[in-house]
Structure 1
Amino acid sequence: MQVWAVLYDPPTFTEELYQKGLLLVDLASVARIKRFYRREDACRGLIARLLPRILLKERGVAPSTMTFAATAAGKPYIMSPNIDPPIAYNLSHDNRLVVMAFADGKSHPPAHSIGIDVMKVHLPRGNLYRSFVDTFEEQLTPLEQELLSPAVSADEGLRRFFWMWTMKEAYTKALGLGLGFDFSRIEFDILANLVRVDGEVPQGWIFHKFQVTDAGELYVGVVAELMEDIETLVVPETSPTPWLQSFKAAPFVQRALEELTQTA
């Protein structure tokens, strides 16, 4: 399993670079990207579509044969032929960060399930910690609510909340589930580093927690990976992360221009 993280920096991401980057993706993707009202959202959308293409180019897949599809629940997968082993991947973004987790899959679409979620640790404008957390009360378990109680400082409580939420998101994305899954069925005991679903530890999973810091701002994320024949494990964010690579957006797109315009 590996994670690529791309930090979007508006001053360096020029209009020219954006327009050239659009030429690297299919027309359907261009149409979806251009629907975004805010340019920063469009730029993040472009980065998200370039990430798997760079991955495929590294695996020797010609740009002309790169094809993608999505499950009925909207989870994207790679359709390009003759990839051995197949690749499972998943994307997430929040604020200035776009991330992609990927690993070798086992079938088409890959049975090897992987999901990733990342969020910036901050209070939305105009919110107080207590009212913000209370908004999600119905989607938290009683234990999680206790771990976010007023006895916990606002800073610590906010950090705990985003670990819980990214864990829930990553797990459901790995399963390929669409909207509507009851998040209160998933419990992340952040103190014990235990994940439970419907009160039981799901078997065969590894959950990697990670952090990315950008200009003093903290992002937390979780990769959920189905490994099948293992005891479920939560790897703390303090562990080494040789599997995590970070890039700046402008050089990343410039790299895409150089690599994806080569002769197929």
Structure 2
Amino acid sequence: MPLLRLYLDVSTLTPSGFATALSLLPPAVHPSITRYHFPSDRALALGSAFLQRYVICTHYAAHTTLSSVPLHRDPANGRPYHGAVAGTGQLDGVEDYNTSHHNPRQEFPAGGERCLVAVAALVTRTPQRKRRVGVDVVPTAYTRCGAEEFVETFCGGGGTEAGVFTAMEVEWVLRASDTVERVRGVYLLWALKEAYTKAVGVGIVGELTRVEFRGLEGWHGQERWRGAEVWVDGEDESKRWYTEGEGFFLAICCEREALVEGDIEGEWKELDLETDITGPWGAA
């Protein structure tokens, strides 16, 4: 299936485990990971670096170690991309990929809440690097004080002051029966908008009210949802863009033409850092 859905939980990574794993990456990459103050943020950066390289290692026969994967960053928008070249024995190609992460708090949570890094990738036999995918990870609840104020920030006054949601989206959020569900609605819309803007390559800095998601009725509380209507500048773009989410936590937006049979029914796969990534692909 061309659409890959992968995630990694780094909440249990110990200081010694972090140091060992970091040593498997090129030294030039280390500062971009260790520059973070909190251990959880460093672990997320490490997990992102590993997931990106895992996708390339498993789909290009020429790249067999994490340290050999050629990754770059677009100077225009900061989006990472790979420079792998097809060669003899190529398995298939990574047309596009995108990563996201969620840190529930500044430190690893004591209550078992997960600290996730996710990657979505489009994999084809003849990669053209034309079709795009975006992914976002959001929490399922507002864990700090002031959930009502959190909703008000984005939806107060019809949402026009925040400049994030349209009037129709705000109406949908406020239609929920309680604050818990309204918070979930805010996070869901945020995830969809960020996944879309990342897929089109403009990032979250774009004018978010130009993008509107409709057809969300009945999505509250579902573990798996898909098929939101995507409207851009008042035009229905749903035939071009496919959206889905998993438990109001992981959201994907990608171009429909990239999908094949079985993609929509595909599941997210959780990877184990040692078993799936550093063990098979970490050799020097």
TM-score by length of 1: 0.82
Structure richer in strand, relative to its length: 1
Q: Which residue of 2 aligns with 1:70?
A: 73
Counterpart of 2:241? 205
Q: Which runs of 5+ in 2 are unaligned?
A: 104-114, 219-227
TM-score by length of 2: 0.77
1:234 is matched with: none
Matches within 5 A, 1:1-264: 1-10=3-12, 13-59=13-59, 60=61, 61-63=63-65, 65-71=68-74, 72-82=76-86, 84-95=92-103, 96-104=115-123, 110-129=129-148, 131-136=149-154, 137=159, 138-149=163-174, 152-189=177-214, 190-191=216-217, 193-202=228-237, 203-211=239-247, 220-228=249-257, 242-247=266-271, 251-253=272-274, 255-262=276-283
C-alpha displacement of 1:124: 4.7
Residue pair 2:141, 2:180 contacting (<8 A) in 1 also: no
The 2-side partners of 1:242 and 1:185 are apart by: 30
SS of equivalent residue, structure 1 residue 98? strand
In 1, the alpha carbon distance for the partners of 2:84 and 2:257 equals: 25
How many angstroms apart in 1 are the aligned matches of 2:170 and 2:6?
Answer: 32
Query: In 2, Cα distance between the equivalents of 1:226 and 1:66?
Result: 26
* Mapped contact 1:116–1:170 kept (Cα < 8 A): yes
Structure 1: gaps (5+ residues)? 212-218, 231-238
Q: Give 1:223's aligned amino acid.
A: I
Residue by residue, what CA displacement relative to the aligned partner does 1:187-232 show, whole Å, maximum 9, x if unpaired?
1222183221112221411112212xxxxxxx522111113499xx
Using the TM superposition, give the Cα deviation of residue 253 of structure 1 relative to its aligned residue in structure 2, in angstroms: 3.7
Structure 2 letter corresponding to 1:262: A
Q: Contact 1:174 / 1:224 at 8 angstroms: preserved in 2?
A: yes
Query: d(CA) in 2 for partners of 1:35 and 1:229?
Result: 36
Once the two structures are TM-superposed, the CA of residue 259 in structure 1 deviates from its matched residue by 1.8
2:222 alignment partner in structure 1: none
How big is the shift at 1:128? Answer: 2.6
CA–CA distance in structure 1, aligned partners of residues 250 and 17 of structure 2? 28
Give yes or no for contact 2:147–2:179 (8 Å, CA) kept in 1: no
Hey, which bits of structure 1, 4+ residues long, moved more than 6 A? none
Shift of 1:8: 2.4
Tell me the CA shift for residue 147 of structure 1: 1.2
Q: May I ask how many residue pairs the two structures share in their alignment?
A: 241
Q: Select between 25-34 and 254-263 the one with higher mean Cα deviation.
A: 254-263
* Cα separation, 2, equivalents of 1:241 and 1:200: 27
CA deviation string 1:7-60 (max 9, x = no partner): 2233xx222210011112222321011110001110111011001212222222
